[in-house]
Amino acid sequence: MGELVKRNHWVIRVTHWVNVVAIVLMAGSGMRIFNAHPAFARPGEQFPLNPWEGHAIPASLTFGSWLGGARHWHFAAMWLLVANAIVYLAFLFLHGEWRDVVPRRRDARDAVEMIRFYLFARRDHPLQGKHNALQRTTYFAMPALGVIIVLSGLAIWKPVTLGFITALFVNYKWARFVHFVAMALLLLLSLIHVFMVLTVDPYSLRSMISGWYDRTRSPEARNARPFYHLFARGHSDVEAPGESAAS
């Protein structure tokens, strides 16, 4: 038998999967709304920052079937996204789990070591706690992007009534651009996250469903890179902070 630890509190697990649903709904309907006018320039102006100005996103990636329908989904699912995010962030703060994700001074150096390990420039998996430095950075960047997305979203939803928020992004046009770019970055990080879960640590899926995690299967114990040592059984003698061992 492995060495099972309770890794994720049920609040974390529930908000994680609700977030998956909310982000899929929001990104899909948002891209459908974007396709009604897939450009950032005002009429008669240029927008050189977007090399694909005027090119729509493939309809198969979008959700809501038409502009009005996608807007209804977007403005309904936004409450799910925000309510879920508030529960998650409040829990993280009150329960101390924020320590697992806020950046530490060591993170930059540790992240370089992780990248060196993934690029075979280093043999052994760097020592880590619950998350490696790249994960910590990602799991911090994702909610940070979420905050930018919500703020820029309010800015383009209510550019007059909440004009002071729009002004944070200069004006409506730039707020819309920030909203789009932050969404694209969040989707990119999510795709990398899913790829790394499947190719490096599929055992962590269990910890996001039942909460239990087998520490002898950790990437560190298996010395795992993407696709490498996927089914190896290692031995962990590193005590991960914040995890209580169970038999």
Partner 1 sequence: MNLDRRRFLSVSAASLSSALLAACNRNPRSAATLLAFAERKNASVEEALFRHDAMNRVPRSARLTGEAFPKYFVSERVPMWDPAARGAWRLEVSGAVRRPVRLSLDELVRLPSVTQKVDHFCVEGWNARAAWTGVRVSDLARLVEPTPDAGYVDFAGFDEGYHESWDLESAMHPQTLVAYGMDGRMLGPGHGAPARVHSPVKLGYKNTKYLTRVVFMPRQNGGYWTDQGYEWYGGT
Contacts with partner 1, residue ranges (CB under 8 A): 33-34, 36-37, 39, 41-46, 53-54, 65-69, 71-73, 75-76, 79, 158-163, 172-173, 176
63 or 91, CB closer to partner 1?
63
118 or 157, CB closer to partner 1?
157
Compute CA 196 distance to the chain's CA centroid, rounded to the nearest angstrom. 12
172 or 212, CB closer to partner 1?
172
Cβ 166 to partner 1 shortest distance, Å: 9
Cβ 172 to partner 1 shortest distance, Å: 5
Cβ 151 to partner 1 shortest distance, Å: 15
Cβ 62 to partner 1 shortest distance, Å: 12
69 or 129, CB closer to partner 1?
69
| C-alpha torsion sign, points 104, 108, 114, 115 | positive
Q: Which two tokens stand for residue 95?
A: 């329960």
Contact 225, 200 (CB under 8 A): yes
Cβ 66 to partner 1 shortest distance, Å: 4
103 or 163, CB closer to partner 1?
163
Cβ 37 to partner 1 shortest distance, Å: 4
The label of the residue with tokens 């995690």 reads: 213
17 or 75, CB closer to partner 1?
75
Cβ 147 to partner 1 shortest distance, Å: 20
11 or 24, CB closer to partner 1?
24
Mapping DSSP onto H, E and C, the string for the chain reads: CCCEEECCCHHHHHHHHHHHHHHHHHHHHHHHHHHCCCCCCCCCCCCCCCCCCCCCCCHHHCCCCCHHHHHHHHHHHHHHHHHHHHHHHHHHHHHCHHHHCCCCCCHHHHHHHHHHHHCCCCCCCCCCCCCCHHHHHHHHHHHHHHHHHHHHHHHHHCCCCCHHHHHHCCCHHHHHHHHHHHHHHHHHHHHHHHHHHHHCCCCHHHHCCCCEEEHHHCHHHHCCCCCCCCCCCCCCCCCCCCCEECC
89, amino acid identity: L
Question: Alpha-carbon distance 167 to 155, whole Å?
Answer: 8
